[in-house]
Amino acid sequence: KAGVTQTPRYLIKTRGQQVTLSCSPISGHRSVSWYQQTPGQGLQFLFEYFSETQRNKGNFPGRFSGRQFSNSRSEMNVSTLELGDSALYLCASSLQAGHTGNTIYFGEGSWLTVV
Amino acid sequence: LAKTTQPISMDSYEGQEVNITCSHNNIATNDYITWYQQFPSQGPRFIIQGYKTKVTNEVASLFIPADRKSSTLSLPRVSLSDTAVYYCLVGGGNTNAGKSTFGDGTTLTVKP
């Protein structure tokens, strides 16, 4: 059974540009969440989607957005990139929402470097 | 939010048992405790999850006291390949991901 797949794995963007990252959850998983990981801030929650609806949102500016498709695949977008957006962006999926004790499984992440 | 506190780093030697404790004083009734392992440039990998008492799987054990204000991940007979960062997550999975809190992680270094 394939794990969480994220593309691209590595990318370099210029300040002011925008970027779209893609995530395919584990087959059968309907919940997807995104995290940003940086050396200084650790793992920070961005947002969570279930059945194409955003259920939770972390404390990030509006430049960070996401969406989920009917097949549970998800994308996140960052507009007007800043140097501080350089980070590892992690996608995680879980079987369902509305159930405590859900185990979330992470992808390998997308490394974004903003120059 | 359940704030978690872990030791920043720990050292061990091959073959030893390692115990990493996570403090989560204001854990909510519905919160589960999950531990992840992360290697450089990779996503966190699920190790074990529990709600109370003791949980054991093929790679680790998780001890949770009755008050649930802390938890201890136990790794038996560590090897060099166990050198990684270990995160404690308190919360309810993706449903309450916005209310889930990752600790700052414990860097475990296993020496030969």
CB B22 within 8 A of CB B102: no
Q: In angstroms, rounded to a whole number, what is the distance separating the alpha carbons of residues B85 and B82? A: 9
Q: Is A48 within 8 Å of B36 when comparing Cβ atoms?
A: no
The answer to whether residue A90 neighbours chain B at the CB level (below 8 Å) is yes
Distance to chain A for B54, nearest Cα, Å: 15
pLDDT in tens, B62-72: 999 999 999 99
Mean pLDDT of A13-21: 98
What Rg value do the Cα atoms of chain A yield, rounded? 13
pLDDT of residue B94: 46
Least confident segment among A11-15, B1-5, B42-46, B93-97: B93-97
Contact list in A for residue B98 (CB cut-off 8 A) is 45, 47-48, 55-58
Lookup result for tokens 């996140």:
A76
Mean pLDDT of A21-46: 90
Q: In angstroms, rounded to a whole number, what is the distance separating the alpha carbons of residues A38 and A44? A: 9
pLDDT of residue A40: 74
